[in-house]
Amino acid sequence: MNNKWKRVTLIGAVVLSVAVGGASAYGFEDTKGDPAEAEINALSQAGIINGITESQFNPRGTMTLAQGIHMIVKGLGLNLDALRFIKEPVATDMFDHVANDAWYAQSMIIAFHNGLTLPRSLDPNANLTEGAFASLLIEGLRAKTEQEPPATLFGDAAGSKAELSRSKAAQLITKAITFLKNESKDDQKEQPVLMERTKAAEGVDLVTLTWPARPTAGYSVKIEGIDFEGTAPSGIAVIRYSLHEPKPGSINAQVISDVQATAYVGSDWKIELKPVK
């Protein structure tokens, strides 16, 4: 039996972490002293943003809609993994002025299908305002987590009509990534559930959920149901489960133990866990 345990991030998302504690040794020449110098360097190292040349970032330059969407998709890790299409989507299915071979076309498609408000008639080369970028970031965060971002997350940028600079965009996307990263950590602390997947029979796996080291008897894990999204082999089996503590006033044995629940899933299905109340 495979006894390797996998700690599950319950928001079901892969969060791209960006450390902004220090400047890169390979920083851009024109970002020295910029308020977002640390963020720009960290994002550049993470491959989320690029300069206009290898040595120039142009921090005071404006940010176009295409550039902003591309940054959001890469920074928040948006994708189409959970979606299934009858035919491969192309940009011209959704937009009148986005060529299918444009460098940003795939990011536009991903953003659209993740719920970002992108009109069919949009101009990808139009300059973004700080307020518009903040609104798109909020929509991107909603696609990644059930936790509603606070209204104060982007400060004065929310609703601002000021043109978005490349420097300001770096600051705002870093705030969004940090929020997503911290929210993911909180979920893991609140729901320390472990999952083990082992072969039960040909084409069938046994999935065991474990809530480890409960201090007394009376704790339990219950699998509420399984929702199948898409089709195998790329489909996702979403296992809904709930955690239960002893009833108030009940008398339970003082013994530390792991509590478990099991389910069977086809071997060719991916698995995600979803906690429910």
Tens digit of pLDDT for each residue in 153-184? 999 999 999 999 999 999 999 999 999 888 76
Return the sign of the alpha-carbon dihedral for residues 175, 176, 181, 182: positive
Q: What integer pLDDT is reported at residue 216 of this predicted model?
A: 87
Q: What integer pLDDT is reported at residue 251 of this predicted model?
A: 85
Calculate the average pLDDT of the chain: 86
pLDDT tier at 86 (50, 70, 90 boundaries)? confident
- The residues pairing with 206 across neighbouring beta strands, listed in sequence order, are 198, 264
Which has the closest alpha carbon to 99: 87, 109, 85?
109
pLDDT tens by residue, 188-230: 445 568 999 999 999 999 999 999 988 889 999 999 999 999 8
Q: What integer pLDDT is reported at residue 16 of this predicted model?
A: 33
The percentage of the chain sitting over the pLDDT mark of 90, rounded to a whole number, equals: 69
In this prediction, residues 21-40 reach a mean pLDDT of 78
The pTM assigned to this predicted structure is 0.62
Q: What integer pLDDT is reported at residue 26 of this predicted model?
A: 53
pLDDT tier at 111 (50, 70, 90 boundaries)? very high
Q: What is the edge-to-edge ordering of all strands in the sheet holding 270-275?
A: 220-229, 236-244, 270-275
Does the pLDDT at position 9 exceed 70?
A: no
pLDDT tier at 3 (50, 70, 90 boundaries)? very low
